Amino acid sequence: MKKTIIVFAFALIAACAPVKLLQPTQADADRGSQKFPGFSLSELNEGKSIYEAHCNKCHRFKVPESRDEMKWDMVIPKMAKKAKLDSVQESLVLKYVVTMSTAKTK
Ligand code: HEC
């Protein structure tokens, strides 16, 4: 019984913990620039800021590494419309999530 309560308490804490977003590094920007020519770390961080400001209003953050590029290509146009992003913001968010979807989590 006591064990059940402890397990339950931990589950509750885990569910409420804020979603952790990886801090983009130069290595991430370099990897991204192979896909998006000229892509820089500052653009990557800009994409992250837009994502942080708009993408947890209706649901918790769906972290970049939770989906692959193909999935993000389908989801972002839909969500950009929901979040009322302009086309520049949409493109930065797409580049951010696609680049960070393959980031090393450690
Ligand atoms: C106005 C509310 C709203 C905003 C803002 C919003 N979303 Fe969503 N999102 C939803 C709803 C509702 C769903 C579930 C239904 C659906 O898939 O359309 C969803 C689902 C998702 C999914 C899962 C879709 C799937 O098929 O796996 C992802 C990923 C996602 N959102 C990412 C984002 C990102 C990234 C942003 C920021 C650009 C964002 N959302 C902003 C409402 C929103």
Distance of CA 56 to the CA centre of its chain: 10
Q: Cα(97) to centroid of ligand 1, in Å?
A: 13
Residue of the CA atom closest to atom 29 of ligand 1: 62
Q: Which two tokens stand for residue 70?
A: 């193909």
Please, is 71 exposed, middle or buried when counting C-beta atoms within 10 Å of its C-beta (0-12, 13-18, 19+)?
A: middle
Q: Which residues are CB-contacts of 21 (< 8 A; sequence separation ≥ 6)?
A: 48, 51, 52, 61, 63, 64
CA distance 27 to 54: 25
Which residue CA neighbors atom 5 of ligand 1 most closely? 83
Q: What is the pLDDT of residues 44-102, one digit of tens each?
A: 999 999 999 999 999 999 999 999 999 999 999 999 999 999 999 999 999 999 999 99
Comparing 7-11, 37-41, 53-57, the range with the smallest average pLDDT is: 7-11
Residue 6 clears pLDDT 70, i.e. is over it: no
Confidence of residue 106 (pLDDT cuts 50, 70, 90): low
For residue 79 and ligand 1, the question of a CB distance below 6 A is answered with yes
Residue owning tokens 């952790």 = 20
* Residue 98 Cβ < 6 Å to ligand 1: no
Token pair for 66: 């939770």
Band of residue 104 on the pLDDT scale cut at 50, 70, 90: confident
Cα angle value 95/57/60 (rounded, 5°): 75
Mean pLDDT, residues 23-31 taken together: 97
CA of residue 62 to ligand 1 center, whole Å: 8
Give the pLDDT of residue 18: 75
pLDDT 10s digits, 72-86: 999 999 999 999 999
